[in-house]
Amino acid sequence: MANCIPVRCRRNVLDNAGVLKIRYAALEILEVTGVAVRSEKVQKLLRDAGCEVDEKSAVVRFPPTLVEEMARKNDRAVTLYGRTKKHDAHLDFDHVHVCSDGNGTEAMDFETRQRRESTRADVARSAFVADALRGHGVNWPNVTSQDVPQRTRHIHDLQASLENTEKHITLATNTTSWEVGDVIELAAAAVGGREELRKRPIISSIHTSSSPLVIEGEGLEAGLAAADAGIPICFYVMPGPGATGPATLAGSVAVGIAEALAGNTVIQLHRPGTAFVFSCGMANLDMKTSTRAGGSPEHGLTSAAFAQMAHHYGFPALVGGFVTTAKEPDEQAAYDKFASAIVPIMAGADMIAGIGLLEDCRTVWLEQLVIDSEISEIIGRIVRGIDVDEESLALDVINAVGVGRDYLGQRHTMEHFRGEHFMPIVSDRSSFDAWVSRGRKSILDRAGEEVRRILKEHSVEPVGGEVAETSKALLKRRAGKA
């Protein structure tokens, strides 16, 4: 698989006893506390399946046997298909696919260096740059098209993405059933029809809970519509330790798992066998500033624990990582993103979302996309580990070179250094004097040069004209509606 990280040096954050304790805590939450499910349609579905439904409060209490039965019905062989097959992302629990993070509302203009509201052009350009990156596997549009009416934003976001990346696209701006219908129609136009889309869904659909323990009806019914079309569901939960979840990480993870299991139970009752991805972004509340501490060490730990719990139940996981509250690509951005990413990657989370955005997932910088891609490749090299076999031990080469000589001229060196050594693009490993002679360029300068190279040299396989025609028809359809 291209553009993914094989995880061989796995490091879990929960022991077996901890996994079981969180499992049974989540089941108890669902049975005793329950989840408010604010959809009469879904309440009926759950009542018919044996759940206790309080019509006044909308709180549903789930029998553990039902929850676990539905957990066994999800499609465990999940593939997020690219527009071209070379970018298919197989969620097999052994590889990590790094995603751009989504739904930011601001952009740092690459030319003017002014922070402003994001536009459709930013959706397109960030998708194009990400398409070229080796350390990026799945495209969650970094930002939304703030320069178009809100009721057509989902159409513009998907069209701009389809036209500028060949990678799988996961969407979170289709929050109603009619928006889901629009994006399905547009994605189908890109692949030759609805049946082709069902065979190879090139989009997935993100739907959310409202932590703690609430699932709004409109978004949930939108998820049902996506499932009907064969679109994989990423059910995103965000209990924030200390705010919308217990301050203790284990407690917040238990709440998140309970919400995800509730979402899966609904989806599988409605459409058994739907591809369902446990998804979360659990950053704690910073008690000094009363803001979300995106990129904190706790963020990485909760992401890793959530992924481990998802795998325990047989679900792939999409979790937050590469996150930071830094305002520019500085030292804080570097250590926040590394710290929040390496833990869930080592735990084997199937997808890590976060690259390209700063200010806790608010503002896209094209340079940060490039820097984050390099960070993901560095972490990828770490978790790949060290091969130990006859070829890598190289005893014959060691004996041939002998004492006091170097290995630069050896065929073995030429055959192995590219696969064995990480080769950076924007990191500078030159001497101080060489760095000065080249203008003392910062990593931001070098990342900017790489962005310019990509914009000039990269190409994306064009989509058919049906996409533009379908988008035009959808925009016309929505224009006359309030």
| 436-449: pLDDT as tens digits | 999 999 999 999 99
Same domain assignment for residues 291 and 410: no
Tell which of 366, 384, 402 closes a domain. 384
| 88-146: pLDDT as tens digits | 999 999 999 999 988 899 999 999 999 999 999 999 999 999 999 999 999 999 999 99
Same domain assignment for residues 285 and 167: yes
Residue 163, in any domain of the structure:
yes
Same domain assignment for residues 279 and 399: no
Same domain assignment for residues 149 and 164: yes
Residue 458, in any domain of the structure:
no
Q: What is the DSSP letter of 98?
A: E
Give me the pLDDT at residue 14, please. Answer: 98
Rounded to two decimals, what is the model's pTM? 0.95
Same domain assignment for residues 77 and 111: yes
Same domain assignment for residues 215 and 270: yes
| 174-206: pLDDT as tens digits | 999 999 999 999 999 999 999 999 999 999 999
Residue 16 has pLDDT above 70, yes or no: yes
Residue 43, in any domain of the structure:
no
Mean pLDDT within 339-356: 96
CATH number at residue 90: 3.20.20.480
Same domain assignment for residues 147 and 82: yes
| 399-437: pLDDT as tens digits | 999 999 999 999 999 999 999 999 999 999 999 999 999
Same domain assignment for residues 282 and 359: yes
Mean pLDDT within 159-180: 96
Same domain assignment for residues 301 and 165: yes
| 216-238: pLDDT as tens digits | 999 999 999 999 999 999 999 99
Give me the pLDDT at residue 481, please. Answer: 59
Same domain assignment for residues 150 and 117: yes
Question: Binning pLDDT at 50, 70 and 90, where does residue 482 land?
Answer: very low
Same domain assignment for residues 111 and 249: yes
Give the 3-state DSSP-derived string for the chain, with helices as H, strands as E and coil as C: CCCCEECCCCCCCCCHHHHHHHHHHHHHHHHHHCEEEECHHHHHHHHHCCCEECCCCCEEECCHHHHHHHHCCCCCCEEECCCCHHHCEEECCCEEEEEECCCECEEECCCCCCEEECCHHHHHHHHHHHHCCCCCCEECCCECCCCCCHHHHHHHHHHHHHCCCCCCEEECCCCCHHHHHHHHHHHHHHHCCHHHHHHCCCEEEEEECCCCCEEEHHHHHHHHHHHHCCCCEEEEECCCECCCECCCHHHHHHHHHHHHHHHHHHHHHHCCCCCEEEEECCCCEECCCCEECCCCHHHHHHHHHHHHHHHHHCCCEEEECCCCCCCCCCHHHHHHHHHHHHHHHHCCCCEEEEECEECCCCEECHHHHHHHHHHHHHHHHHHHCCCCCHHHHCHHHHHHHCCCCCCCCCHHHHHHHHHHCCCCCCCCCCCHHHHHHCCCCCHHHHHHHHHHHHHHHCCCCCCCHHHHHHHHHHHHHHHCCC
**Identity (one letter) of the amino acid at 161?**
S
Residue 28, in any domain of the structure:
no
- Residue 407's domain comprises 390-420
Same domain assignment for residues 347 and 401: no
Residue 154, in any domain of the structure:
yes
| 319-329: pLDDT as tens digits | 999 999 999 99
Query: How many domains is the chain partitioned into structurally?
Result: 2
Share the mean pLDDT of the chain.
Answer: 96
Give me the pLDDT at residue 269, please. Answer: 98
Give me the pLDDT at residue 9, please. Answer: 85
Give me the pLDDT at residue 2, please. Answer: 65
Residue 185, in any domain of the structure:
yes
